[in-house]
Structure 1
């Protein structure tokens, strides 16, 4: 299974840069990049909440489940 993080999609919809998001949420560019590329193994609810607040979205807008193909 894979959880996809759609930060790019939400950034584009909100016409916001990764730098702006980093400044608003207080997350380093490196950590946002890890989330964005799908290399993160976990995300804190406080981080998810801050992202949702900054991007004016719901957790389901940022996260998607994609089953692995056999």
Structure 2
């Protein structure tokens, strides 16, 4: 997947716990875990907004676009 989720990195940098973030943004720890692993199809803007507010960061600090390798044909 060309979108990489760096939420676990931001949590570590901010010395924040997943449990506290999940409670703050109003989702379960299981759903937050799926988000951190990149196993979700999408994220709501209000959820992203709350994550950024809690971690004092920008969406680009959490989400990164990595293009897939091009075939050498």
TM-score where L is the length of structure 1 = 0.91
Does structure 1 residue 11 correspond to structure 2 residue 5? no
Does structure 1 residue 35 correspond to structure 2 residue 35? yes
Q: Which moved more, 1:1-10 or 1:40-49?
A: 1-10
Distance 2:27 2:54 in 1: 12
In the other structure, the counterpart of 1:50 is 50
What is the Cα-based RMSD across aligned positions, in Å?
1.1
In the other structure, the counterpart of 1:63 is 63
Larger radius of gyration: 2
Number of residue equivalences: 70
Q: Give 1:31 shift.
A: 1.0
Q: Give 1:27 shift.
A: 1.3
Distance 2:35 2:49 in 1: 14
Moved over 2 A (4+): none
Q: Give 1:30 shift.
A: 1.2
TM-score where L is the length of structure 2 = 0.88
Q: Return 5+ residue gaps in structure 2 as ranges.
A: none
